[in-house]
Amino acid sequence: MTETLVEIRNLKTYFPIRGGLLQRTIGHVKAVDNVGFNIQKGQIFGLVGESGSGKTTLARSILRLIEPTSGQVIFDGADILKVDRNTLKRMRKNFQIVFQNPFLSLNPRMTVRNLIAEPLRAHTEISENEITRRASELLRLVGLADEQLWKYSVELSGGQAQRVCVARALALNPSFVVLDEPTSSLDVSVQAQILNLLKELQKELGLTYLLITHDLGVVEYLVNLVAVMYLGRIVEIGNFEEIFRDAAHPYTQALLSAVPSVDGTALTQSRIILRGAVPSPANPPSGCTFHPRCHKYIGDVCRDVEPSLNPLGATRKVACHLYSAK
């Protein structure tokens, strides 16, 4: 029934740390460390984690906006990381990205029409009249009126600007869209509008999303599958019900319990307060990288051995010695 659209295998993105007199590489920041998962067609895949956990680097590596160190990203049968520039350009029509801050993504010296025209000019050979027609069609799709075509981004509100970014991402009929914190810079009332729009578009156009966010409310509302990242690795992955109703990894448990809820459902009594902060990815702890903060530390094995991502039940995988010990 479900068909895999994007397959990510053993993806690693390391950034060199240079130092010393000759600026030699003296170590690596393992921003993405051996990550693998599949994104099914028509699904919304959520990627959560705290700042510095590698979410954005992972997304950019998948789209090859950053060159990963090693691994495979298979899209439509071809490995994005292996193809030559021309093939990559052709493939890029199919995967687009929407960033957190719409004003930084939109050139302030271009009109909305020209912003939307850019991808059309780069990838197609349609006439200027056609471009205007297509641009206004796209604006309507994202709930903006035709008169916005001739505006500059500074004349738009945050919500409107983000709609333009969505319109531009959809200009070439992509099948896969990465949404990197698409609502984090917006006020709550506007955030809800954009989420409604994204959900509607996904249904209507049969899109597949990779949604990156630190807002767990948004994730629980929208996604089908969730991967939780900590220091460049996936610690737990599963469908949203499993993760949100019954998180297995101690980090997932703490993350979920840390969110103050408007519904008053957070059990303040059972809240897990983690010690300390996320360690530097340049010098991660040994063994399980979460062990110094873990509230379920079971002994030397956590400190010494790196847990692998093992199946727990039919659809879930967890990287924790609590489960591999049994």
Partner 1 sequence: MEDLVVNFHTLDGVVHALDGVSLDVQKGEILGLVGETGCGKTATGLAILKLLPDNSEIANGRIMLEGDEILHKTEDQEVKIRGRKIAMIFQDPASSLNPVFPIGRQLLDVLKVHNQATDEDSLRKLAHDTLIMVELPDPESVMELYPHELSGGMQQRVMMAIALSSSPILLIADEPTTALDVTIQAQLLVLLKKLKETLGLSVLLITHNLGVVRELCDRIAIMYAGSVDEVAKTDRIFKNPRHPYTRGLISSVVTGRLRGKVLHYIPGIVPSLLHPPQGCRFHPRCSYAIQACKQSRPELLEIENGHFVACYNMPKDPWWRT
Instruction: List residues near partner 1 by CB under 8 A.
Output: 50-51, 157, 159, 187-193, 195-196, 214-218, 220-222, 240, 244, 254-255, 257-266, 268, 271, 273-274, 276-278
- Considering the complex, state which of residue 187 and residue 246 has its C-beta at the smaller distance from partner 1: 187
- Considering the complex, state which of residue 87 and residue 261 has its C-beta at the smaller distance from partner 1: 261
- Considering the complex, state which of residue 217 and residue 311 has its C-beta at the smaller distance from partner 1: 217
What DSSP string describes 21-64? TTTEEEEEEEEEEEEEEEEETT-EEEEE--TTSSHHHHHHHHTT
Judge whether 148 and 112 are in contact, CB under 8 Å. Answer: yes
User: C-beta of 261: minimal distance to partner 1 in Å?
Assistant: 5
- Considering the complex, state which of residue 84 and residue 263 has its C-beta at the smaller distance from partner 1: 263
User: C-beta of 247: minimal distance to partner 1 in Å?
Assistant: 13
- Considering the complex, state which of residue 6 and residue 242 has its C-beta at the smaller distance from partner 1: 242
Residue 256: which of 190, 276, 241 has the closest Cα? 241
Give dist(CA 194, CA 161) in Å, integer: 11
User: C-beta of 217: minimal distance to partner 1 in Å?
Assistant: 4
User: C-beta of 45: minimal distance to partner 1 in Å?
Assistant: 16
b (16+ CB within 10 A) / e for 17-51 = eeeeeeeeeeebbbbbbbbebbbbebbbbbbbbee
Question: CA quadruple 17, 20, 25, 26: dihedral positive or negative?
Answer: negative
Q: Are strands 78-79 and 70-75 parallel, antiparallel or unpaired?
A: antiparallel
User: C-beta of 52: minimal distance to partner 1 in Å?
Assistant: 9
